[in-house]
A and B are shown apart, each in its own frame.
Chain A
Amino acid sequence: MFKLLRQEFVFLHKPLNPRSRLLLLASAAVIATALFFPLWKMHLVAPQYAEGLDLYIYCYKIEGGGLNGQHLQEINNLNHYIGMHSLAAADFSEMRWMPFVFGLIILLILRAAVFGEMGNLVDLFAVYSYFGVFSIGSFYYRLYTYGHNLDPTAPMRIQPFTPLLIGVKKIANFTEYSFPQAGAYLLIASVALIVLAGWVSRQETPA
């Protein structure tokens, strides 16, 4: 038992070699870049919308496709028939704090790169994973709320539903395609870089 704890202690105090630190810097840069790309895209296709209606979700905003982003307005307009509330960035409180959390994570990465200990990486990984899982959960909850909190006086009454988080789904005359975008892939890459940073320093011994 003591041996195991000892091993853990040693592991957490392993220094991060220069390659690890560079990987961490790269990870921070990748996260910063990811903020400028959409994380998620919902693409809705119907007979009258063969070219599709697009909704791009960034960590700080929702944006429609089309001229002047008018697809958002169009989707809201269509949704009003089933009594769904208008999608508005102002309603997504997470969009206000998410960029700051990413900033915090970047700071934690930089901290790990400067302090250079495996323990910092573990802290970072734990916070980042928690944040990631929480975000996806909160996104799902948003979708659930929009699809279930329908105005009972709406002209068309439909069975409450949850818009698809990921995959392809048919809703009335629309086929919904919901998939992660460049921003999400970059974030996954940033996690991979953090794991890799730990991996390349796994043979180091504490001073």
Chain B
Amino acid sequence: MKAFYLTHGSGFVLPAALCLLALAGCDQKASTAKNERTTNAVASYVAPGEKDEYYLFYSGGHSGQVFVAGLPSLRHISTIPVFAPYPGTGYGFDDVSRKMLGDFTWGDVHHPALSQTDSKYDGRWLFVNDNANNRVARIDLRDFKTKQILGPLPNSSGSHGSSFITENSEYLFVATRFSTPLPKGRVADPKDYKTEFNGAITGIKIEPKSGEMGVGFQILMPPFDYDLASTGKGPSSGWVFFTSYNTEMAHELLEVNASQLDRDLCPIVNWKAAAQAVAEGKAPLLDGVPMLDPAKVPGIVYFVAIGKSPHGMDVDPSGKWIVAGGKLQPTTTVLNFAKIQAAIAQKDFEGEARGIPILKYASVVEGEVPVGLGPLHTQYDGRGNAYTSLFIDSCIVKWKLPPWTPEEQKDLTKAVLDKVSTHFSTGHLVVAGSDTKAPYGKWLVAMNKLSKGRHVVVGPAQPESSQLIDISGEKMKMVAEAYTEPEPHFAQILKVTDCAPIEVYPKDENKDPNAVWEKKDAGVVRTGTTVTAKVIAIRSRFTPDRIDAQVGDTLVVHVTNVEQTVDMIHGFGLNEHNINVTVDPGETKTFTITLKKPGVFAFYCTNFCSALHQEMQGYLVVRPVGQTAALPAANPVAAR
């Protein structure tokens, strides 16, 4: 019976199978595309309950903040407020953060830098700059909070060329984008730009234990627009490389006037020699900062003329190659550090600018790689490959670093290995660990300036787009896309296992003298016209939950979240007083306000904490001047 079935059945099966094959042939392309989508989806998929492998710290641009996403999921996880108030975490409302922000309510975060030890990320701090108000900030990666804002820096305006950190976090460098008359406050006519205006390169000294930043020294520079930088490592240890545009020294219509020369003078700075010269007293003070004049102290700054209006300047993981993005020319320029050293030693100069020697270009360049239109930034995978963002061509190009074969050297188009389109107009890109001596490789994130048409319509204001590219293989593979708020400029990628953040502030570490942990210590005390409340926040109550004061009083509230449980965050929102302080477990925060209007104002927990979160509230009673508790005001509501 069985044999009969098989014999006769096979007659039908064979034609049917042929038919299926034919169908598959027709549909092969679609099915391959579908398979690829599935593979890519799986590559960046982090299932519910699973965790990402890397942190991605985006600069938040003119949002003033830092965004934290996970890789490979590309999901936004949290926002670290830095230069702008952020009610979500109560930043900018308590006394400490308010003092840090000063009078500014925004900043323009451009380039985050992770602290390094021995040219590798040490997971301690993240530094970011503020291009708008010439500040730098330090985020502690123990608690992902902003701990210090330094600035506005003296003698430096538009700190775009920042934050670039040295291989052992000794210094981070800041360079002027917008030259001004120095010192700040001095007024000169912009028409006298060439003679009256100056730029500066600033070395911010970092205290090795605490990370506390201070202005170490500055170098007085001609009024070019200093753009970006990268620090040396390995053989180029002790050096820092900058790009600049506007060697023309135009002060108006820069779009045209700063784009006339084919090459711009880019400073190469021996920062160890600079620090040494400052220690030897060779830098007179300008606005309180030791200001080195490179014309008077030789051996510190050299120029190299790079085409054209170059943007990014990136040292490779070996420290041997320095790549400038051509921006207005379709090549990246590769400098050879060994040749730079030789040229300096042999005084192989092609001129000087304001007393600063210009290295002979032909003697220091290794090659110009024809990567495409609008090359901006270059990153490295540590396997001898470079990845450059092409703003105008809107793609990422992968190319081979030197040493090149004689054949490649002759025709550098042969060094270009692969291109992948991005959507659209990539500015920065980041390869995991590119600025260390041992990149993690694997992932590249393209930060695109235009996201139009890539997402559902959200009105005329558009988010930015980020695209995740797998660079582990020979060919790059676009895997995922996500959107961020405006506007990431650069990012840093840190392996999750390379830092050790806490989730609760341990009670023993809370040294705030106004912290209260026991009910008996909490309460309200009046001293003259100052009313001080020490408040405990715990699920689901404030102790005390009544504060009495009078119009004109200064109210100081210290809130301690006595919880030691992860994610048990309490907020203290005060009606109609523009106050929202958020207190993490084990933390004490203080806010100070002047009471201006009488009334009874509720305060309540703003960060949903528990099943009785809604009940977590209290009252601030502000009596009019002269009215005592025994004398209640007339009550029109009760009278009705």
The answer to whether A and B come from one shared complex is yes
Question: Quick check: A68 and B565 within 8 Å, CB to CB?
Answer: no
Q: How far is the CA of A67 from the CA of B538 in the complex (A)?
A: 18
Most buried by A among B539, B564, B615: B564
Cross-chain contact B564 with A73 (CB below 8 angstroms): yes
| B576 CB-CB contact with A under 8 Å | no
B98 within 8 A of A: no
Interface assignment of B507: CB less than 8 Å from any CB of chain A: yes
Residues of chain B lying within 8 A (CB to CB) of residue A81: 611-612
Assess the A74–B564 pair: CB atoms within 8 A: yes
Residues in A whose Cβ lies below 8 Å from that of B565: 70, 74, 77
Tell me which residues from 545 to 569 in chain B have a Cβ below 8 Å from any Cβ of chain A.
Answer: 563-565
Separation in Å of the A50 CB from the closest CB of chain B? 9
Asked if B506 is at the interface of the complex by the 8 Å CB criterion, the answer is: yes
A167 interface residue (CB < 8 Å to B): no
Please tell me if A155 contacts chain B, counting CB pairs below 8 Å.
yes
Bound form: Cα–Cα A74–B507 in Å: 14
Q: A66 CA to B612 CA in the complex, in Å?
A: 24
Bitwise interface map of A from 55 to 82 toward B, beta carbon under 8 Å scored 1, else 0: 0000000000011101001100100010
Q: Number of contacting residues on B, CB 8 A?
A: 12
Beta-carbon contact of A68 and B612 below 8 Å: no
- A68 contact set on B, CB distance < 8 A: 506-508, 564
B504 CB within 8 Å of chain A: yes
| Residue of B whose beta carbon sits closest to that of A78 | B539
* A79 vs chain B, min Cβ distance (A): 11
Q: How far is the CA of A77 from the CA of B615 in the complex (A)?
A: 16
Q: How far is the CA of A41 from the CA of B104 in the complex (A)?
A: 54
Smallest beta-carbon distance B491→chain A, Å: 31
Chain B residues near A67 (CB, 8 Å)? 504, 506, 564
Kindly provide the distance from the CB of B351 to the nearest chain A CB, expressed in whole angstroms. 64
Task: Name A175-190 residues within 8 Å CB distance of B.
Answer: none
Within 8 A of A (CB), among B227-283: none
B591-615 contacts to A (CB < 8 Å): 611-612, 615
Say whether A77 contacts B506, CB under 8 Å. no
* Chain B residues near A66 (CB-CB < 8 A): 564
Q: How far is the CA of A73 from the CA of B563 in the complex (A)?
A: 8
A67 to B509, CA, bound (A): 13
* CB within 8 Å of A: which B29-51 residues: none
Interface of B is mostly: loop
Residues of chain A within 8 A of B563, CB atoms compared: 77
Task: State A73–B612 Cα separation when bound (angstroms).
Answer: 18
Check if A70 sits within 8 Å of B564, measured CB to CB. Answer: yes
In whole Å, how far is B216's beta carbon from the nearest beta carbon of chain A? 38
Contacts of A141-188 to chain B: CB distance below 8 A? 155
The distance from the CB of A89 to the nearest CB of chain B, in whole angstroms, is 17
Chain A neighbourhood of B615, CB < 8 A:
155
List of A residues within 8 angstroms of B504 by Cβ: 67
A residues less than 8 Å from B539 (CB atoms): 77
| Whole-angstrom CA separation of A77 from B563 in the bound complex | 9
Q: B295: shortest Cβ distance to chain A, in Å? A: 58
Q: In whole Å, how far is A116's beta carbon from the nearest beta carbon of chain B?
A: 52
Considering the chains assembled together, what is the distance between the CA atoms of A67 and B504 in angstroms? Answer: 9
Which residue of the partner chain A has the closest CB to B49? A50
Task: State A5–B507 Cα separation when bound (angstroms).
Answer: 66
In whole Å, how far is A126's beta carbon from the nearest beta carbon of chain B? 45
CB distance from A179 to the nearest CB of B (A): 24
Q: How far is the CA of A81 from the CA of B538 in the complex (A)?
A: 12
Least CB separation from B502: chain A residue: A67
Chain B residues whose C-beta falls within 8 Å of the C-beta of A77 in the assembled complex: 538-539, 563, 565
Give chain B nearest CB distance to A177 CB in angstroms.
20
CA distance A171 to B194 in the complex (A): 79
Taking the closest CB of chain A, its distance from the CB of B489, in whole angstroms, is: 38
CB distance from B509 to the nearest CB of A (A): 10
- Shortest C-beta distance, B599 to chain A (Å), equals 29
Complex Cα distance, B612 from A68, in Å, reads 26
Is A155 a contact of B538 with CB atoms below 8 Å?
Answer: no
A121 to B564, CA, bound (A): 49
In the complex, which residue of chain A has the Cβ closest to the Cβ of B507? Answer: A68
Q: Closest A-chain residue to B615, C-beta based?
A: A155
Q: Min CB distance, B142 to chain A, in Å?
A: 15
Q: How far is the CA of A73 from the CA of B508 in the complex (A)?
A: 15
In whole Å, how far is A75's beta carbon from the nearest beta carbon of chain B? 11
Give chain B interface residues in 604-629, CB to chain A under 8 Å: 611-612, 615
Instruction: Give bound CA distance, A74 to B566, whole Å.
Output: 11
With A68-B506, A68-B507 as contacts: A155 and B564 at CB distance below 8 Å: no
Nearest to A73 among chain B residues (CB) is: B564
Contact with A along B350-382 (1 / 0, CB 8 A): 000000000000000000000000000000000
Q: Measured between alpha carbons, how far is A74 from B615 in the docked complex, in Å?
A: 19
B506 touches A155 (CB 8 A): no
Task: Tell me the bound Cα distance from A74 to B564 in angstroms.
Answer: 8
Q: Report B49 CB to chain A, min CB distance, Å.
A: 9
Minimum CB–CB distance from A119 to chain B (whole Å) comes to 54
Q: When chains A and B are docked, how far (Å) is the Cα of A66 from the Cα of B566?
A: 11
Q: How far is the CB of A15 from chain B (nearest CB, A)?
A: 57
| A-contact bits for B520-558, CB 8 A (1 contact / 0 none) | 000000000000000000110000000000000000000
Near B by CB (< 8 A), chain A positions 70-98 give: 70, 73-74, 77, 81
Least distance between A194 CB and chain B CB atoms (Å): 43
A-B contact pairs, 21 of them (CB 8 A): A66-B564, A67-B504, A67-B506, A67-B564, A68-B506, A68-B507, A68-B508, A68-B564, A70-B564, A70-B565, A73-B564, A74-B564, A74-B565, A77-B538, A77-B539, A77-B563, A77-B565, A81-B611, A81-B612, A155-B612, A155-B615
Top 8 A-B residue pairs of the complex, sorted by shortest distance between their CB atoms: A70-B564, A74-B565, A155-B612, A77-B539, A73-B564, A68-B506, A67-B506, A67-B504
Interface residues, chain B, with chain A CB atoms under 8 Å away: 504, 506-508, 538-539, 563-565, 611-612, 615
Q: Which residues of A contact B (CB under 8 A)?
A: 66-68, 70, 73-74, 77, 81, 155
Knowing that A67-B506, A68-B507 touch, tell me 15 more A-B residue pairs with CB under 8 angstroms.
Answer: A66-B564, A67-B504, A68-B506, A68-B508, A70-B564, A70-B565, A73-B564, A74-B565, A77-B538, A77-B539, A77-B565, A81-B611, A81-B612, A155-B612, A155-B615
